[in-house]
Chain A
């Protein structure tokens, strides 16, 4: 090369930070102009942060039997206990556990299961969707027919079936430890279908574009084309489904736990708390059910609304 290196160090305009670029992008603009999105984002972020920092925020540790005082049992919210005259923001349950603290810790389990299950479903769905969309033929037929068959069953039923089988093959002494992971597996496996379908559809569209032909012409192998070229271009619909799936996964986990087949009582999730609370509903201790149920409602609703908004914002033609 006889040329001097191209002058690349000349002054350029100040590169804005990633945060301010995101804030100023079209998506950021749509966000700033949607009150629903703002409110649900604030609600969701507050709840998620509260769950992450639960050990710092919670007044008591509900899992430490030493901190529990049975005398505190059934204290109504914001009222001093008749015996210990302690007061609790959201009252206490039958064993004197602070409901507010159990909700914070329960939310951790719910969110962890939700995020992990969606991640699992997403990875599985993306891989199977890419493969069936790109290769077509028999591979596609088998994968997509399996997906169709699974869709005909309600996903909660599939999750219960998987949960039951997994529980059956786990040795008794590990059951409680494994319960969370089995839950993730069960919800994830019942949820991959929609990821696979969307990714397959988007892959079919992208596959026919010329940049894929250009990559094939260079001599790229199919898997490298799928990962490097197609995957980044099919991710935006996946993001939308992932958000909406998160809300559904949190509800699915709560439903399973409510039915008693989910999180064990030693690691209570929101669903477990609701199950415990509903036993006291008719005896007047409404707060044991009410506060966990409200938390679940707000969490699922805000995430779901956020997902709905994201779908509209990424796809202006839907409006």
Chain B
């Protein structure tokens, strides 16, 4: 084995707060060798980004390195002063951040930003720097680099922007690159391009890469070595095959078990028990008080026909001058009684817009939505109120879907009070029952949302959605903001809702393995159009439309992952 380029030895980061000392990173050690990609994986708050920031000297005060060493090419860099660290940063250690939108200055052309960085680090003349910049753009596979050189960041797509950020990181031929969630904000197709580029860099230029991510798929696809972090500490380190295939630590085992697989459908997700975080919830108990609705007249609870939505792109006084953007274009599908219907697609494909039209949050510009035979686009106010009582929605971001100034009890009680479903004295008891059934503590109702974690908030959202005893639940990316262990929990609750309460669901996600686990039938959307609707098993086994085939092809391969502890429902595809 060659000498490591970068070594982290027993690194501990302190943040003094007025409530005492907080150590987000404790005793972390790992090495990066030339040409090696080290994945650092863990859930949010595990300290993986904090370690990365400590290495490149970008800790925000009052956070500071308390003990430990960072050694670059045999030289300690953690004790250098700010000026020397600044010189190393960018020159010897390149950085790629999560959001390509904010990593580039929108007021300068791509070329100006590259040339500035190149001149700063390498001291080349303007013409030499420009030649080098164009060469770099070419290397990160930007088409027509000499033309693109003079364009602004907004003229690039998300994936190309992230590739420009990589070009910026490569300006000064760094020997190490720290990539902090480089593909989290990107669609799968773009993610694949960016990861391929990072792999090529490591192989061809012998760059060492620290790849920080929460995504097991990215780890399995890209890395050579993996370090698993939990709660500020390294729990396990080793080669990717070893960690994913035969994990030894209990946390790693349960983390891997909680990752949804594209190939096998599980009945329930195993929950992460490590650290005493498993939560009991008793959806089945709710069924006792649940008046099961009569089956719909036709067997189709929701029928969507020719649904169209246009958004005003440029306003004008004269109607003929206005320009529209068609977000949803002539979409038709049915959702049967009691089934989970999935809608998948990349960002901007219109899947959330469809959901919001069904939820009456957006007016419909064309087509019909029928709920149990009644057209909601032509309903009067009274009928709409009755309709709204039967549908509910669970939103993507649990941090914005609960009013921060309302107590949890009032949040869950609001639908009950508004629809006048229970006499006032019974509301409190009903609210506490709902919160208890989704696994929250008995005094949760008198706290405010900020006292709860993301997963707990999402469960509060579910309790609110269940308050009116709806027939139809719309889940708009309900787990994409959550860690994989919390995702498993929420998906289990949703499965229970379908099984015990007979709820019909529209499940929207960009995550194909999750859709595979949850849905009976799936519709694939692309640029506002529904390109394919299939039974889930059939879709994954034999996709018909070329776009579906492409999407499935880009899905991360998780066959390196150990299958230990998975209760499978059916054999894989």
Q: Is the CB of A7 within 8 A of B442?
A: yes
List of A residues within 8 angstroms of B404 by Cβ: 233
The stretch that binds A, out of B187-195, B327-335, B390-398, is B390-398
B429 touches A5 (CB 8 A): yes
* In the bound complex, CA of A229 to CA of B400 (Å): 12
Q: Does B432 contact A (CB under 8 A)?
A: yes
> Which B residues are in CB contact (< 8 Å) with A2?
288
Contact A209 B442 (CB under 8 A): no
Residue interface bits A220-245, CB-to-B below 8 A is 1, else 0? 10000000010011000000000000
Q: B393 — which chain A residues lie within 8 A by C-beta?
A: 213-214, 217
- Report B336-360 residues with CB < 8 Å from chain A CB: 356, 359-360
Q: A209 — which chain B residues lie within 8 A by C-beta?
A: 400-401
Q: From B400, which residue of chain A is reached at the shortest CB distance?
A: A209
Which listed segment binds A: B209-217, B271-279, B412-420? B412-420
Q: Which of B378-416 contact A (CB under 8 A)?
A: 384-385, 388-389, 391-393, 395-397, 400-406, 414-415
- A64 contacts partner chain B, Cβ-Cβ < 8 Å: no
- The residue on B at minimum CB distance from A33 is B18
Contact of B384 among A6, A12, A219, A229 (CB under 8 A): A219
Interface residue B436 (Cβ < 8 Å from any Cβ of A): yes
Judge if A318 is at the interface, Cβ distance under 8 Å.
no
B417 closest partner in A (C-beta): A218
Q: Mark B136-154, 1 if CB is under 8 A from A, else 0.
A: 0000000000000000000
Instruction: Report A-chain residues with C-beta under 8 Å of the C-beta of B464.
Output: 214
When distances are taken between beta carbons in the complex, the residues of chain A under 8 Å from B414 are 215, 218, 220
- List residues of chain B with CB within 8 A of the CB of A210: 395-397, 400-401
Q: Please report the total number of B residues contacting A with Cβ < 8 Å.
A: 37
How distant is A21 from chain B, measured CB to nearest CB, in Å?
13
- Known A218-B388, A229-B403: A213·B361 in contact at CB below 8 Å: yes
In Å, the complex CA distance between A211 and B464 comes to 11
Residues of B within 8 A of A213 (CB): 356, 359, 361, 393, 395, 401
Question: Which residue of A is nearest B385, CB measured?
Answer: A219
Interchain CA distance A217-B389 in the complex, whole Å: 9
The answer on a CB contact under 8 Å between A219 and B388 is yes
Contact with B along A15-34 (1 / 0, CB 8 A): 00000000000000100000
Complex CA distance for A167 and B566, rounded to whole angstroms: 83
What are the residues of chain A within 8 A of B2 when measuring CB–CB? none
**Is B402 a contact partner of A211 (Cβ separation < 8 A)?**
yes
- Using CB atoms, name the residue of chain A closest to B414: A218
Residues of A within 8 A of B (CB): 1-3, 5-8, 12, 29, 209-211, 213-220, 229, 232-233
| 5 pairs, A vs B, C-beta closer than 8 Å | A5-B429, A7-B442, A12-B443, A213-B356, A214-B461
Other A-B contacts than A213-B395, A214-B401, A217-B361, 18 sampled, CB-CB below 8 A, are A1-B289, A1-B433, A2-B288, A3-B433, A6-B432, A29-B18, A211-B403, A213-B356, A213-B359, A215-B403, A217-B391, A217-B393, A218-B414, A218-B419, A218-B468, A219-B385, A232-B403, A233-B405
